[in-house]
Amino acid sequence: MRLERRLFLGVWAGAAASGCRRERLNVEEATLAELGRYGARALVEEYLRRIDEIDRSGPALRAIIELNPDARLIADQLDRERQSKGRRGPLHGIPVILKDNIDTADRMSTTAGSLALQGSVAARDAFVARRLRQAGAVILGKANLSEWANFRSSHSTSGWSGRGGQTRNPYALDRNPCGSSSGSAVAVAANLCAVAVGTETDGSIICPSSVNGIVGIKPTLGLVSRAGIIPIAHSQDTAGPMARSVTDAAILLGALAGADARDPATQESQGKSFSDYTQFLRADGLKGARLGVARKFFGYNEQVDRLMQTALEALKQQGAELIDPADLPSHGKTGDSELEVLLYEFKADLNAYLGALGPRAPVHSLADVIAFNEHNREREMPHFGQDLMEKANAKGPLDSAPYLEALERNRRLARAEGIDAVMEQHRLDALVAPSGGPAWLTDWIAGDHDAGGCTGPAAVAGYPHITVPAGFVSGLPAGISFFGGAYSEPRLLRLAYAFEQVTRFRKPPQYLLTVSAG
C-alpha cells in the first residue's frame, strides 16, 4: 500500500533577492548549485512548507525536532547581502539542518533529544555552526536523533528520543532510520533541507546515510572541530556532512573543516584540510585505483551481497583494480575495548560539557541525567532503559589503567594492525565494503536489529569513511563504503564521486507504509 505522494511542492520564488527570473521553485532532489539560483527567503519558505506537510503531518517522519524561529529574518538579511555584495559561496542562503547535539547560540535549544536538557540554550555556537553561518548558510532547525547519540541503552531503538519521538524511514514508514543521526539523514533524504550535519562515534553518520539512500562522510578525527557538540567520546567523536550527492557533501565538508583553538585535535589537520573538496572530484577517478575488498564485512544479507557484487563490477569497469580479499588483520578484535573506552570517555566528556552549561541547564552531570530519567521514567524510558549511562557513571577517571590499556589496544588494532597494515601490504588507495544491511523494522520491544556494517575500524582508528548509494533491496536503500587512512578524504571523495557518476543509484523516497520482499 502506498501513501499518496505530493508530486510537486513549489512556491513562487522572489526574483528580487536572487537576481533570477520569476519561476516555480521546486527543491525536490535539487543540488546546491541548482538551489543557488534562488533567494534564501524563497528557499526557507519552501522547506518550511515541506516540513509542515511531510514531517509534521502526511507521512509524519519526525525528522525535525525544532525549527529556527529566526530563519526567515536571517534569510532576508542574506538576500539583501547578496543583492549588494554578491554570494559568499555555494552555501549562501542555503537552508541547513543540524543534529540536535550541536550547539547554536540562538533561540533554539541543544538537547541531544533529552527532556533533561529541554530549554538549554548554548552560550556560543559550536565551531561547525559558526562555520556554516560564516559561509552564509541558514540554520533552519535541529534534527531529531537517537537520544544522547544512542549511548543510553544497549537495547535502544534508533531514531527515538524523549523530546522528538520516533523518526521514521521515508522509504518505508515502519522501518528504522538507523542512528544516531537519524533525523539528519531523513531530512536530507526527504528533501526537507538541502544538506545536513550529523555526528558519529561509530556508525552514526554512515548507517543512517546508507539506509536512507544518501551520501554520508565521517571525517578523520580532528578534521572538523568537536567544540560545542554534546559528546560521547573524544577519541572517536566527529561531525560530518550528509547530502544527496557526493558533490554537495564535498561542498559541506569544505565549510566544516578547519583548525579550532577550542579543539586541540584540529591542530593536526593544519596543512591537511581543504576549504574546497570539490577540486578532487573526477569522473575518471577510479581509473588505476587499487581497492581492497574487505570480505569479512560481507555475508550479513544475501541481497546486499548481490548489490555489492554489481558495485564491484562497476568499479572494475571504471578501471579500478580490486584486491579481493583484503581483510583487516585485526578484524573483530576491538569490540570490548571500544566499549570500555566509550564508557570512560562518556562520563568524563559529558560531565565536562554539562558542567560548563552553568545555570542555563537543569542537569549538570551524568549522575543528574540518570536521576532525571528515573524521575521521569514514563516520558523518558517507555521503551528502553539507561544501562549504558549507569555503566559509564560507575567508571573511574581517565588516568585509570583499564581505560589507558583499552585505548592503546584500540589505536594499535585499528590503525597499525588494522587499516594501515592492510593498506600498506596491498598498496591500496582505499578499502570497500557494504555499508550495512537494509533498514530493519522499528521494534520498541526488542530494540535495534544487527544488520551488519563496516563502521568499526574507521571509527576506532579515527579515519575517514564515506558511504554512497549502491542500490535497493525490496525498495530499501543500501550503500557501499569507501574508507582508508588518516586525512585521505580527497582520495575517498574522488573514488566515491566516480562510482556515483557511473551508477546514479539515488532515488527519492515514496513514503510507503511498508515494503514486502521481492
Per-residue pLDDT reduced to its tens digit, 125-147: 999 999 999 999 999 999 999 99
DSSP-derived secondary structure for 482-513: EE-STT-HHHHHHHHHHHHHHH--------BS
pLDDT at 360: 76
The mean pLDDT value for 272-287 works out to: 98
Can you list the domains of the chain with their CATH numbers? 10-19+31-503 (3.90.1300.10)
Give catalytic residue positions: 99, 180, 204
Q: What pLDDT sits at residue 88?
A: 98
Q: Name the percent of the chain lying above pLDDT 70.
A: 95
pLDDT for the residue numbered 352? 98
Predicted confidence at residue 358, as pLDDT, reads 87
Cell numbers given for 415: 590503525
How many CA atoms within 13 Å lie on the side-chain side of 26?
A: 8
Split at pLDDT 50, 70, 90, the class of 482 is very high
DSSP codes, 450-474: ------HHHHHHT--EEEEEEEEET
Radius of gyration in angstroms for the set of CA atoms belonging to the chain, rounded to a whole number: 21
**pLDDT for 423-472, tens place per residue?**
999 999 999 999 999 999 999 999 999 999 999 999 999 999 999 999 99
Q: 260-276, pLDDT tens digit by residue? A: 999 999 999 999 999 99
The 10s digit of each residue's pLDDT in 354-400 is 999 988 789 999 999 999 999 999 999 999 999 999 999 999 999 99
304-314 pLDDT, tens digit each: 999 999 999 99
Q: Quick one: pLDDT at residue 131?
A: 98
Residue range 97-121: mean pLDDT, rounded: 98
Which residues 6+ apart lie within 8 Å of 240 measured at CB? 197, 198, 199, 200, 205, 216, 217, 218, 219, 224, 253, 256
pLDDT score for 23: 53
Q: How far is CA 45 from CA 26, 32, 40, 136, in A?
A: 12, 17, 9, 17
Residue 194 confidence class, pLDDT cut points 50, 70, 90: very high
Q: What mean pLDDT, rounded, does the chain reach?
A: 95
In sign, the C-alpha dihedral spanning 285, 291, 294, 300 is: positive
Task: For residue 492, count other CB atoms closer than 10 A to its CB.
Answer: 26
Half-sphere exposure for 474 (CA within 13 Å, toward CB): 14
311: Cβ contacts below 8 Å, ≥ 6 apart: 432, 470, 471, 480, 499, 503
pLDDT confidence of residue 20: 42
Query: How far is it, in rounded angstroms, from Cα 266 to Cα 263?
Result: 6
**pTM of the predicted model over 0.85:** yes
